[in-house]
Amino acid sequence: MNQDAITIYKLIILYFLDRVDFTMTKTQIDDFILGREYTNYLTLQQVISELTDAGLIHVKSIRNRTYLSITEEGKSTLTFFDNRISDSIKEDVVHYLKENKFEMRNDVSVLSDYYKSTSGEYEAHLIAKEKGITLLDIKLSVPLPEMAAAICDNWTKKNQEIYQYLTEKLF
């Protein structure tokens, strides 16, 4: 693969991550880049790995999702090489974010994970955020991992309903 092309893909990812005020999922980045056929899946995985190894992005996996965010070093690098991204690609990013930012933000504002606690129970950890502020943070202990997984799945589907119920009952 041409090294100049790899560099451009890296800059596109940095540019994309720099334009949002929330952590994005790897799937969201994949959808944008692969949807426009800038490159293929394997090259994209290589690029993300190299950005991570270089400390330009931070990668965090929770359950079955991988979250990406730009680091300060990544922002600094982008300011030096921003001019290497074509105006048409920048316009693609801006347009895509304009069209999808609300859904993308909602997608990463609801988090859930579960793990085995020291007591032997399984804890489902449920979080709802808005603009980086935690609105709700709940931990539920259950005896089986299947129950914890079901709680996490239902939280993803019904978080607004649950949040509304709690605020109505508590206020």
Classify residue 56 by its DSSP letter. S
User: The dihedral of CA 49, 51, 56, 59: what is its sign?
Assistant: negative
Q: Do 53 and 93 reside in the same domain of the chain?
A: yes
Whole-number pLDDT of residue 109: 78
Q: Do 90 and 42 reside in the same domain of the chain?
A: yes
Q: Work out how many domains the chain is built from and give that number.
A: 2
Whole-number pLDDT of residue 71: 95
pTM: 0.71
Determine the structural domain holding residue 39 and report its residue range: 3-104
**Res 106 pLDDT > 80:** no
4-18 pLDDT tens trace: 889 999 999 999 999
Contact 96, 12 (CB under 8 A): no
Whole-number pLDDT of residue 24: 85
